[in-house]
Amino acid sequence: MLKRDFNIHVDDQDLLDEAFTQASYVNEHRDQNLKFYERLEFLGDAVLQLIVSEYIFTRYPKLPQGRLTRLRAAMVNEQSFSTFARECHFNKYIRLGKGEEKAGARDRDSLLCDIFESFVGALYLDQGKKVVEGFVQQVIFPKLDEGMFAEFFDHKTELQELAQEDGPVDIDYELVDEYGPENDRLFKVNVAIDHKVLGIGVGHSKKDAEQKAAQQALKHFDKREDNLV
């Protein structure tokens, strides 16, 4: 599965098993001297924090610390990690005790988040940081472009910060069109910086359209680099 989906090879199968084993399973198989995932989760959490930090630090070279911190918090949390774990089909591989299985732990966000971290911890120990970066580049980073964290990413504030970095400028949002039926109304907004239109956005609310216009305008300020440091 790892090989097929992510082109990842793991040498130490025991370590990988540990990453997917909950304490309840260990307790039911005391004769097998198994380990459960928690220590690997501790390590994986720190690995993910650093790799995500490094990526957004490099990708958004002008984003101030406070916003980097908020973006990282939006990316590194139970909700997003459990989503990633499901997308990777990690839920299939978790080893649970019978009671936990019955209680529905296999689909619990908190467990899936833990397992995502413990898997990363195991991968890091087994294959090193570069391989984890390759995995994260497939699983987490594309979500940034797909808008998964858009709600945490306030483009209007970002635009204001970037545009005014070299001194004050005029930023104006203008509603230029409104169309569609009452119950499915669409709004079109332009954003202009010093009277030059740099972005257009369409959305189901003016606020949403403004965010999208700002997002488009941001491309004029973007010094993205596509590679991890």
Q: Which residues form the interface with a copy of itself (CB under 8 A)?
A: 38-39, 41-43, 45-47, 49-50, 53-54, 57, 63-65, 68-69, 125, 129, 229
Q: List all residues 6 or more positions away from 28 whose beta carbon is below 8 Å from its beta carbon.
A: 97, 98
Is 41 annotated as belonging to a binding site? yes
Is 194 annotated as belonging to a binding site? no
Is 117 annotated as belonging to a binding site? yes
DSSP-derived secondary structure for 171-208: EEEEEEEEES-GGG-EEEEEEEETTEEEEEEEESSHHH
117: annotated active-site residue:
yes
14: annotated active-site residue:
no
- Classify 81 as helix, strand or coil: helix
Q: Which of 18, 100, 117, 210 is catalytic?
A: 117
Distance, in Å, from the CA atom of 194 to the CA atom of 170, rounded to the nearest integer, reads 5
Q: At what angle do helices 65-75 and 155-163 cross, to 10 degrees?
A: 150
Tell me how far, at minimum, the Cβ of 172 lies from a copy of itself, in Å: 26
Distance, in Å, from the CA atom of 114 to the CA atom of 111, rounded to the nearest integer, reads 5
Tell me how far, at minimum, the Cβ of 38 lies from a copy of itself, in Å: 4
- Which of residues 41 and 158 has its CB atom nearest to a copy of itself in the complex? 41
Tell me how far, at minimum, the Cβ of 100 lies from a copy of itself, in Å: 17
Numbered residues of the known binding site for Mg(2+): 41, 114, 117
Q: Which residues are catalytic?
A: 45, 117
Numbered residues of the known binding site: 41, 114, 117
